[in-house]
Amino acid sequence: MVCFTIVVGIAAVMFTRTAMDSSRVRVDSPQELSSYFNEIGYSARLLRTGNASIPKLTMASVPRNWAEGLTVDRKKTLFFRALLPMVMIANSEISMDRTRLLDLRNTLAETGKISSRDTIWIQKKSDQYGLQLIAQGSEAKTVNQLLQRVDIIPPSLALAQGAVESAYASSRFAVEGNALFGQWKFGDGLVPGEQRTALGDYRIAVFDSPLDSIRSYMRNLNTNRAYSSFRELRADARKRGEIPRGSPLAAGLLAYSEKGQAYVSLIRSMIARNGLSATDGAKLRNMQTVRITTGPL
């Protein structure tokens, strides 16, 4: 086991890494997590810096009582710093598929045909994104339909919704099930304390990791018919040559909560109050992904 020490004020904070695997870091308190972020150049200031370079970090799970002893402001910034890299990793996975779709659209426009391997891949993505399987000769139409769904979720939007839906990762669903976005699942998951039986046996979906929760949330926005207006707003932004941004696209989330327009206003206020808009222009660092595990936080 290889150890290194960072001095913060009077106290020394120790992190440990396994000698054979430098892609894992263990921290035992929120103060250690914050200090580790600072040590690798990932400061709270970067949340408000346009085109910031964000490290590739994932959290193994949501730690219990992770914000104990923190002020409200430190709790917020630590939550956003922990969540942002995972949001960007999930977006990068989507972007890889989107890039391939854009290449296929160009190929179809130039030659009118694609390989059988690409056709099989398009069929797989159609199934993944809730579209009907393509018919022979309709590849171009299917690619265009997929491009409206296979696209990133603005980081500012994901951060704001994660904060609202999980109470900054302090809710029971976040701690017990890594559930950051309050997604329902019928017949399996965590039972809400005030479950409305008239709506059926709905539960809160649980996940193996926070990153899996983020992936599922993004898939929901990209496939559920309730968010078709969200996808249309995003496609319109793309047509104007703009990157998708959270505050404008929040208008497409009326169906996410029973609060409707009040929920949209809440998300926009969360983005504005915490200066999250700058994260929409952030970039992932070219580095190995580091997995952060936690002790008794």
Chain segment 221-244, per-residue pLDDT in tens: 999 999 999 999 999 999 999 999
Which DSSP symbol is given to 241? T
Contact 169, 70 (CB under 8 A): no
Torsion from C-alpha of 243, 57, 147, 224, nearest 10 degrees: -110
Type and span of the H or E element at 250: none
Amino acid at 242: E
Residue-level pLDDT at 296: 57
pLDDT recorded at residue 218: 98
pLDDT reported for residue 63: 87
Which H/E stretch holds residue 6?
Answer: strand 2-8
Predicted local confidence at residue 182, as pLDDT: 78
195 — alpha (psi -120 to 50), left (phi > 0) or beta?
A: beta
**Residue where the block lists tokens 């992190």:** 15
Q: At what angle do helices 139-149 and 72-111 cross, to 10 degrees?
A: 170
User: Given this structure, which CATH class describes domain 2-92+151-294?
Assistant: mainly alpha
Strand pairing report for 21-27 and 53-54: unpaired
CA-to-CA separations, 189 to 59, 166, 216, in angstroms, rounded: 21, 16, 14
Q: Is 202 helix (H, G, I), strand (E, B) or coil?
A: strand
State the pLDDT at residue 225: 94
State the residue for tokens 């942002």: 84
pLDDT, residue 69, reads 84
Per-residue model confidence (pLDDT) at position 66: 82
Write down the pLDDT at residue 291: 96
Query: For the whole model, what pTM was predicted?
Result: 0.88
- Interatomic CA distance for residues 138 and 102, integer angstroms: 16
For the chain, give me the number of helices (H) and strands (E)?
10, 9
Backbone torsions φ then ψ of 153, nearest 5 degrees? -100, 125
HSE-CB of 262 using CA atoms within 13 angstroms: 3
Alpha-carbon gap, residue 289 to 89, rounded angstroms: 9
Question: Terminus-to-terminus CA distance in the chain, angstroms?
Answer: 21
Positive or negative, the Cα torsion across 37, 39, 45, 46?
A: negative
Identify residue 117 by its one-letter amino acid code.
Answer: R
Q: How deeply is 235 buried, as exposed, middle or buried, from its count of CB atoms within 10 A (0-12, 13-18, 19+)?
A: middle
Report the C-alpha gap between 201 and 204 in whole angstroms.
10
pLDDT value at position 171? 87
Low-confidence ranges of the chain (pLDDT < 70): 1-22, 133-137, 184-203, 296-297
